[in-house]
Every structure is written in C-alpha cells, then in structure tokens.
C-alpha cells in the first residue's frame, strides 16, 4: 500500500486537479485563494513527487503536457507561461530533483547494469491487459476513438475548444505515461509491468478519456440518448463489480492462496531441516523467476530468510542460506516462470 497504492492515488488525484485547473495556477490567482490553500496544493505536489518513481511519472507528464499547451495558448510567450503555470513548474523542478536522488540511490547500480528489456515488458503488459474484462477494453477503445474524432472535429470547427483541449491533454498524457512506464519497467524489471498499481498511469488516462467522451456525447443530445449513455455506464460498472478479477489483489505470478502457501512452506521446511541437522550452511531451492534477480524468489533474500526464521524462534541456529532457482519446483508446484 505504502510503496504503490498510496502514491498512485495521490499522483492521480493531483493529475486530475492539474488538468481541470491548468490555466488557474497564475501567481495572482494563487494569492487570491489564500496562503493555506496554495500551500496545501504545493505541499501535496511535493509529497506526490517524492513518493514513487512509478507514480510520480503520472503527475510529471501531466504537468509537462499542460505546460506545453499553455505555452502554445500564450503564443510561445515564456514569461506568460511561467506566470500562468506556477504549480506545473514547481512540480517538474521537484521531479527532476527526485530523479537525481533516485539515480544515486541504493538500487541505481543494479538497475544501471541491467538490460533494457522492452520486448519482455510489452509481453508482460499484454498479459496484464488480457486480464481486463472485454466489456471494458472494447468500450474504452471505442470511446477513446470517438473522443479523438469528435475533439478534432470540434477544434477544426472552433466549437467546444476547452473540452477538446482537455481531452487531448488527457490522451497525450496517457500515451506518454505508458511509454515512460514501459521504459522504466524495462530497466527495473519486466515483471513490474504485471502489477496494475505500477501501470496505473495507462489505465487512469484511458478511464478519464472515456468519461470525457461520454460527456461530449451527452451534450446537446436528447433525453433518450443521455438515458442510454447512463444505462450503458451503469451496466459497465455492474459488470466490473460482479466479475472475479475486479479489485483483485496484486499478487506476484497470480498464484492462488494454496499455491503461495505451498511455496512458502517448502522454503521454511528446507531451512528447518537444515537447522535440525545442526547445519550452518545450506542451498535453498526455490522456483525459477525472472532473469534479473529471480524475482519474486530473489537470490539475495537468503540472509533475510535465515534471520527472520531465527528471530521468530522457528530455527535455533544461524544459517548461511544461498538461494538457488530450480525449474523442477515450478513444474512440481505449478508456478509459472515470470
């Protein structure tokens, strides 16, 4: 929750807030809103940016895209754009600082030495998308396509420009967020792309674009069409809430509870067996994971497993544990290779 869900929610909320008010962050407007109001927004932005790299990309890209649209709207006047986009500039500056800290953090060396597994990340992402209910996938695809066409038409006809601009801010932010998250997962480990909370940026913007399209279609329409749109929305929500995969826990490899328990128990039993024989060194066999560090059964976890089992009184001796992947256990326990 702390590492993924909370940062995703905070950055998502701020991104929506920035998109809705991207022209209202003028210095004078912030002064009129009062010190407490303005300070709370900037503080929330600071917390969001320094929360998680997977989540703060959502907010950083939103701020970048709205800043670009403000620059275009102000006829490339940098002075007017800076004055109009105080929050976006503050957020992007803080984000650059966060990236510098992250690049010099504890995992920077291991991430820098790995390969950029774009193909593997896209394969894992495709696996994640396949789990989304077809009713949502096809409806979202249709709505986003309609939104693109109708927004382009409105801009050409100079009608409902503000709503069309907001749609394209959302759409462009979604595309850039997806590209950035794929590249980040490709560097950090393709298995990250299987986590909905990591790839939340893509789902967020698709949902926003779909709802904006529904709003576009509902305007200046008859009551019957609006009633049908409302009915379709309710059906989609009902379909989602009554399906098995909705609000499902983010579980590595999508193991069932019994499978996960069997793997954990097997690990514990191996260590207990060594402890009973008064062993001080052992090779711990675990299912094979990815090629990066054998996640979610990491090869570096040996000392932590031994320490945890001793602290809880499960074993009596200090045991040096070397973790070794064994593909035979994948077959025996029906554990897929990530």
* Residue 79, pLDDT above cutoff 90: no
Closest CA to 16 of 61, 54, 49, 62: 62
> Confidence class of residue 319 from pLDDT cuts 50, 70 and 90?
very high
Question: For the residues 85-92, what does the mean pLDDT come to?
Answer: 85
* Residue 200, pLDDT above cutoff 90: no
* Residue 153, pLDDT above cutoff 60: yes
pLDDT of 229: 72
- Give the contacts of 38 (CB within 8 A, at least 6 positions apart): 30, 31
The Cα 235–Cα 135 span in angstroms is: 10
First to last CA, the chain: 22
Report DSSP letters for 263-323, one per residue.
Answer: HHHHHHHHHHHHHHTT-SEEEEEE----TTT-TTS-GGGHHHHHHHHHHTTS--S--EEEE
**Chain center to CA of 294:** 22
> Confidence class of residue 310 from pLDDT cuts 50, 70 and 90?
very high
Average pLDDT over the chain reads 81
Closest CA to 140 of 185, 174, 165: 174
Query: At 35, phi and psi to the nearest 5?
Result: -65, -45
Check residue 133 and report its DSSP letter: -
Question: For the residues 210-226, what does the mean pLDDT come to?
Answer: 77
Say which residue the tokens 């995992």 belong to: 107
The Cα 309–Cα 273 span in angstroms is: 13
- Give the contacts of 216 (CB within 8 A, at least 6 positions apart): 147, 150, 151, 154, 160, 163, 167
pLDDT of 250: 52
Closest CA to 338 of 260, 253, 216, 280: 253
pLDDT of 284: 94
Closest CA to 243 of 137, 155, 150: 137
Kindly report, residue by residue over 261-295, the tens digit of the pLDDT: 899 999 999 999 999 999 999 999 999 887 667 77
Rg (C-alpha) for the chain, rounded Å, is 24
The Cα 185–Cα 292 span in angstroms is: 12
pLDDT of 201: 80
* Nearest 10 degrees: Cα torsion 111, 116, 122, 127: -40
pLDDT of 61: 92
The Cα 253–Cα 129 span in angstroms is: 14
Preceding amide of 95 cis, omega within 30: no
pLDDT of 32: 74
* Residue 58, pLDDT above cutoff 60: yes
- For 137, the token pair is 């996938």
pLDDT of 113: 53
pLDDT of 305: 93
> Confidence class of residue 224 from pLDDT cuts 50, 70 and 90?
confident
> Confidence class of residue 108 from pLDDT cuts 50, 70 and 90?
low
> Confidence class of residue 169 from pLDDT cuts 50, 70 and 90?
very high
Alpha helical stretches, state H, the chain: 5-20, 27-33, 35-49, 53-73, 78-84, 86-103, 108-113, 118-130, 134-156, 161-188, 200-218, 223-241, 257-276, 302-311, 327-333
């Amino acid at each position: 929750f702390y590492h993924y869900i909370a940062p995703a929610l905070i950055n998502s909320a701020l991104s929506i807030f920035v998109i809705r008010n991207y022209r209202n962050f003028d210095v004078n407007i912030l002064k009129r809103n009062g010190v407490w109001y303005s300070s709370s927004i900037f503080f929330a932005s600071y917390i969001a940016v320094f929360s998680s790299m997977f989540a703060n990309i959502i907010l950083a890209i939103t701020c970048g895209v709205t800043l670009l649209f403000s620059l275009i709207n102000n006829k490339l006047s940098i002075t007017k754009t800076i004055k109009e986009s105080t929050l976006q500039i503050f957020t992007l500056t803080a984000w650059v600082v966060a990236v510098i800290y992250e690049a010099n953090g504890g995992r920077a060396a291991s991430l820098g030495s790995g390969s950029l597994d774009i193909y593997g990340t896209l394969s894992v992402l495709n696996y994640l998308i396949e789990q989304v209910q077809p009713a949502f996938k096809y409806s979202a695809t249709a709505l986003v396509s309609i939104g693109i066409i109708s927004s382009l038409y409105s801009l050409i006809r100079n009608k409902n420009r503000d709503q069309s601009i907001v749609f394209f801010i959302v759409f462009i932010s979604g595309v850039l967020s997806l590209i950035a998250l794929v590249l980040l997962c490709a560097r950090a480990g393709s298995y990250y792309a299987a986590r909905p909370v990591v790839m939340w940026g893509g789902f967020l913007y698709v949902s926003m674009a779909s709802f904006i399209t529904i709003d576009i279609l509902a305007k200046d329409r008859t009551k019957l069409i609006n009633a049908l749109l409302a009915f379709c929305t309710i059906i989609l929500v009902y379909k989602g809430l009554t399906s098995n995969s909705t609000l499902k826990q983010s579980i590595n490899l999508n193991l069932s509870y019994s499978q996960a328990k069997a793997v954990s128990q097997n690990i514990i039993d191996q260590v207990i067996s060594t402890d009973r024989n008064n062993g001080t060194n052992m090779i711990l066999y675990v299912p094979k994971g990815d090629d990066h560090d054998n996640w979610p059964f990491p090869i570096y976890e040996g000392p932590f497993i031994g320490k945890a089992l001793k602290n809880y009184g499960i074993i009596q001796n200090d045991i040096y544990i070397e973790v070794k992947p064994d593909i035979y256990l994948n077959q025996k326990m029906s554990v897929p290779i990530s």
